[in-house]
Amino acid sequence: MSMPEYETLKQLVEAAAEDVAKAAGGNKAAGTRVRKSMQQIKSAAQDVRKKILEGRDETGGGGEGGDGGDEGGEKE
């Protein structure tokens, strides 16, 4: 099963790696790029989360059973 949302997330993280290293070394411009990348990564991670919840809801899995999941305050 392929999940394009997850592949996008992985690509964004990989693309940010070089700038993260530069920012850790004190490069302020790289730090700015990393912060922008982190916003994109956050959005992509939310897309993955939504896709997983859709799959769970379609299959009926994970509903009840006290597994410590995300029941309750779901914010979308």
Task: Kindly give the residue spans of alpha helices, DSSP state H, lying in 3-61.
Answer: 4-24, 28-59
pLDDT at 30 over 70: yes
Model confidence pLDDT, tens digit, residues 31-43: 999 999 999 999 9
Q: What is the mean pLDDT of the chain?
A: 86
pLDDT at 52 over 60: yes
pTM as predicted: 0.72
Neighbours of 10 (CB within 10 A): 12
